[in-house]
Chain A
Amino acid sequence: QKEVEQNSGPLSVPEGAIASLNCTYSDRGSQSFFWYRQYSGKSPELIMSIYSNGDKEDGRFTAQLNKASQYVSLLIRDSQPSDSATYLCAAWTGSARQLTFGSGTQLTVLP
């Protein structure tokens, strides 16, 4: 079974701090990685995608990928209460044409 694992949390950080979310995956054939944000009662929303080793920055978000360690992370700088949500990590395996999600990490940013 191909798995994507995340700490379920909850993770609480004060407003303005850096939130660090982590994810590991078991399938070495996974090629692309994604972070989705899901507010309570809403649908998942794609916020970051990363395809190669290293860092990718988009505004306050930075995704990091280390394929050797099978590790993906998401950093949220200057966290805001509006960032409070569940963050889902997903890995794409092209051969299986399957996007596998982790169970999500619940983030709470405290004002």
Chain B
Amino acid sequence: DTAVSQTPKYLVTQMGNDKSIKCEQNLGHDTMYWYKQDSKKFLKIMFSYNNKELIINETVPNRFSPKSPDKAHLNLHINSLELGDSAVYFCASSPTGTAEAFFGQGTRLTVV
């Protein structure tokens, strides 16, 4: 039973394309996140989503948009992909009132 699952695990696409990464958690957590990890392993918050309240890291380009159909899902949609978007993207979730985040297995995005 995977607690936080992401699909796909690998994604290779051309510049300019639009792509989505899906995330689902079965932990009953109220807060979900998207993180980007670059080649230097630096893990940076992109979005957090709690009870329909979205908190956006101001450095994230507006080509990135999270979409949450329900509490258990937080998908990431990316428009007009650029070479610099290549990274590993992690979805995570945490219970309300704590920041103990549980991570999905990651999606390695390569833009060519």
CB of B50 closer than 8 Å to a CB of A: yes
B residues neighboring A (CB under 8 Å): 31, 33, 35, 40-45, 48, 50, 55, 57, 90, 98-106
B102 & A46 in contact (Cβ 8 Å cutoff): yes
Q: How extensive is the interface on chain A, given as a class?
A: 20 to 34
- Inter-chain pairs besides A38-B41, A98-B55, A98-B57, 14 sampled, C-beta below 8 Å: A34-B99, A34-B101, A43-B90, A43-B103, A43-B106, A44-B90, A49-B100, A92-B99, A96-B55, A97-B31, A100-B45, A101-B35, A101-B42, A104-B41
Kindly count the residue-residue contacts between A and B in the assembled complex, taking CB atoms under 8 Å apart: 50
Can you identify 18 A-B contacts, CB atoms within 8 angstroms? A32-B99, A43-B90, A43-B103, A44-B43, A45-B103, A46-B101, A88-B43, A90-B99, A96-B55, A97-B48, A98-B45, A98-B48, A99-B45, A101-B42, A101-B44, A103-B40, A103-B41, A103-B42
Question: In the complex, A98 Cα to B47 Cα: how many Å?
Answer: 9
Kindly supply a per-residue 1/0 record for chain A positions 72-111, scoring 1 wherever the CB is within 8 Å of any chain B CB and 0 otherwise.
Answer: 0000000000000010101010001111110110000000
Residues of B contacting A98 in the complex (Cβ-Cβ under 8 angstroms): 45, 48, 55, 57
Q: Which residues does chain A contribute within 8 Å of B33, judged by CB atoms?
A: 99
Q: Label chain A's interface by main secondary structure.
A: strand
Taking the closest CB of chain B, its distance from the CB of A28, in whole angstroms, is 17
